[in-house]
Amino acid sequence: MDVLEIIHKYLSEIPYAIVGGGAVQIYTSSIAIKKKVIDSIKDINGLSFMFRKTGDIDLSFLYDLSELIKTFNMIIEQYSDVYKFHSFIKRFVIQKGNHRLNLNYQTEPNDLKGIRSYYDDIIHTAITVCLPYRNKIIEVKTAKPEYIVASKLTRIKPKDQIDIMILLKAVDMDNYPFDSEEVRSILKSVNKEDNYSILMDIMDSM
């Protein structure tokens, strides 16, 4: 399923950021490729490796909802011979055979859990992730690591701790200047500063 290629082709001119666990796995995969751990996203068996069994990608947009729906309709028109599509409120489902992938999309701060006041900046500061695929490079945009970690620390379920550890290993491999103090500041602004100690424990354990 060429979902990342679809995102690259049809959403690249729209202000957006992939957030949540999907962002962690896309970013981590890009670093694994960059560091020659694997050669391309085809080597990780596509979505079965990159995304959870729930098959979700969460995207935040700064874009008119009606225009976004037009874009989704264009995708349906172009790929209707390959995929089945289902549209719901803030969810666009792409299906091939028994495999379904949900594109959960947000268009306003109230759609975002945890750090709503940072919604616009998450998109404005999104980083471009490059992935080789089918003899070309596709580019998608993810929230920067500090926002991903801060968002997960507001919830801190077991899977969030795992995602944080995976992401921190990737930023270390990439020599990314991860700013833990920025994470602390974000958490403090949403009255979750106590959760910063969880990040410190994870970092100390690595």
User: pTM here?
Assistant: 0.88
Backbone phi, psi, residue 95, to 5°: -130, 135
State the pLDDT at residue 46: 41
The per-residue pLDDT of the chain, averaged, comes to 88
Q: What's 54's domain CATH number?
A: 3.30.460
**Residue 205, CA distances (Å) to 37, 162, 199, 202 in order:** 23, 12, 10, 5
**Stronger pLDDT, 39 or 154, i.e. the higher one:** 154
Cα separation, 51 vs 175, whole angstroms: 24
**Stronger pLDDT, 44 or 73, i.e. the higher one:** 73
How does pLDDT run across 79-93, given as a tens digit for each residue? 999 899 988 889 998
Say if residue 13's pLDDT is above 90.
yes
Print the domain residue range for 18: 3-205
Task: Quote the number of domains for the chain.
Answer: 1
**Residue 137, CA distances (Å) to 25, 33, 40, 103, 132 in order:** 17, 12, 10, 22, 4
State the pLDDT at residue 55: 66
**Residue 130, CA distances (Å) to 41, 42, 127, 140, 141 in order:** 10, 14, 10, 7, 9
> Using alpha carbons only, what angle is made at residue 87 by residues 86 and 88, rounded to the nearest 5 degrees?
125
Backbone phi, psi, residue 16, to 5°: -155, 170
How does pLDDT run across 24-71, given as a tens digit for each residue? 989 998 988 887 765 555 544 443 344 444 468 999 999 999 999 999
State the pLDDT at residue 62: 97
